[in-house]
Structure 1
Amino acid sequence: MPNEERERTDVPLWFDPLCPWAWVTSRWLLEVEKVRPVRADWRIMSLAYLNLEQRNGKGLSDDYRALMEQAWGPVRVCAAATAHAGRDVLGPLYTAIGTRLHHHRRRDDPTVVTQALTETHLPASLASAATSTEFDQRIKDSHHEAFDEVGLDVGTPVLRVAGTALFGPVLRRAPRGEAAGRLWDGLVMIAATDGFYELKRSRDGKPSFS
């Protein structure tokens, strides 16, 4: 039976727009949608909140601390957009922001957010949320949905699979087609294993967006 004719399962994925690893995982999940009866359910978390407040900035270099301060902007705009238009806008907005930040390498370009808002037919005025704390509680509420369960010793991405919140998968490159589906199948099996905690190996390369 074609996937579109079967009931799809929503898969929550918590992301911070600034994180390149979460971006790769998000592109993988979009590939999974093509070959398995699942649908990405986009949700926001905040690396800035996690590292600067929940972890009290412990062990952060000056450069990484500055990056975390910068990270507030895009996720605040995402929160403002959901308040304005509902959570369905998160997927298109994340794609518009992430393509510019990661594929086009425009992390320091202040026009990224306004261009992304325009592309997704949202008011450019929402860009002002980047420097406002108005929507921070909305961010924290979404963040806690994942991190109260998965713990503070992980980052993003976090997925909820088969009712279990898991950090990862952390991928250098997003698998395509049936390879994406097979990885999903394995993740479902892991999530369904009572008492499972961790699989990990050291990263030896940067994320690839090709």
Structure 2
Amino acid sequence: MTIDQPGHRAASTADMWVDPRCPWAWIASRWLLEVEQVRPIEVRFHIMSLSVLNEGRDVPEKYRSAMVEGWGAVRVCIAAEQQHGPEALRHLFNAMGTLIHHEQAGLGSGMLLAALTDADLPAELAEAADTTDYDKALRASHHAGMDPVGAEVGTPVIHISGADVEPIAFFGPVMSPAPRGEAAGRLWDGVVAVAGTDGFFELKRNRTRDPIFG
């Protein structure tokens, strides 16, 4: 989806890699969709996997069950993208995020089926959750997004490209809640400025809020 204002076109593309279960990625995605309305960008969603990212790592016990549960949603997302295209993935990610983060629907089969219904996609795609058939494509998508920013970050990851910008890739931004309207556009302008500065690597402070979905 491109900006809907007459006389505007997408001057740049924001490719965002997300795992539907990450609340910070969900908030950042809401921000990017706001930016899409006030800046000439096109947002495209792609799938990374926190389960893939944390394979082989010594993670706290409370995260281990989430690593196991997390495979289903990303597998279904990849299956939807492969069978029905990137717009289907966009709709499915939006549906999953709403159910997971706003309705606390969990990561199980009930959420998957409800999200597929909401995204007007075949219920049979839910079968991908319990098979490794799409794991090669999942890993390829994951590494396409994550390798350019390194192994020490998670999601969200954004790649920016276009005629007016040098290609850049970065982790973040992490925020709570997402700004709206022109405030979202101003944050975009600042993020592009710092991420596009040669030699700039990090700007960070402690999080003092839980995710606010708004």
- Per the TM superposition, whether the score is higher than 0.5 is yes
Structure 1 unaligned blocks of 5 or more: none
CA distance in 2, matches of 1:192, 1:109: 39
Structure 2: 5+ residue stretches without partners: none
Per-residue deviation, residues 54-78 of structure 1 (Å, max 9, x unmatched): xx122x1222011111111100000
**Does 1:20 find its partner at 2:20?**
no
Counterpart position of 1:197: 201
Q: 2:37 aligns with which of 27, 34, 39?
A: 34
1:148 is displaced (CA, Å) by 1.3
Match of 2:9, SS state, is: coil
Q: Which amino acid counterpart does residue 164 of structure 1 have in structure 2? A: I
Contact 1:3 1:36 in 2 (8 A): no
Farther off after superposition, 5-14 or 97-106: 5-14
SS at match of 2:16: strand
Cα contact 2:73–2:107 (8 A) shared by 1? no
Match of 1:57 in 2: 57
* CA apart distance, 1:38: 0.8
Does the C-alpha gap of structure 1 residues 84 and 187 become closer, same or farther in structure 2, counting only changes over 3 Å? same
Distance 2:85 2:71 in 1: 20
Matched, 1:80 2:79: yes
1:41-63: per-residue Cα shift (whole Å, max 9, x none)? 101000000002xxx122x1222
Higher mean alpha-carbon deviation, 176-185 vs 61-70, is at 61-70
1:43-122 residue pairs with structure 2 within 5 A?
Answer: 43-52=46-55, 56-58=56-58, 60-107=59-106, 109-122=108-121
Identity of aligned residues (%): 48
* Alpha-carbon spacing, 1:4–1:132, altered in 2? closer, same or farther (3 Å): farther
Runs of 4+ displaced beyond 4 Å? none
**In 2, Cα distance between the equivalents of 1:117 and 1:205?**
31
C-alpha RMSD of matched pairs (Å): 1.3
Q: Aligned residues, how many?
A: 205
TM-score (norm 2): 0.92
Give the Cα–Cα distance (whole angstroms) in 1 for the partners of residues 48 and 190 of structure 2.
Answer: 25
Deviates more, 1:102-111 or 1:16-25: 102-111
Deviation string 1:160-204 (CA, Å, 9 cap, x unpaired) is: 134111000001111000000000000111122111111111112
Amino acid at match of 1:155: G
Q: Determine the C-alpha separation between the residues in 1 that align with 2:115 and 2:6.
A: 29
CA contact (8 A) 2:18 2:155 kept: yes
CA distance in 1, matches of 2:176, 2:129: 29
The reply on whether 1:145 has 2:148 as its aligned counterpart is: no
Contact 2:70–2:107 under 8 Å retained in 1: no
User: Which of residues 6, 9, 16 is equivalent to 1:7?
Assistant: 9
Q: TM-score, normalised by structure 1?
A: 0.94
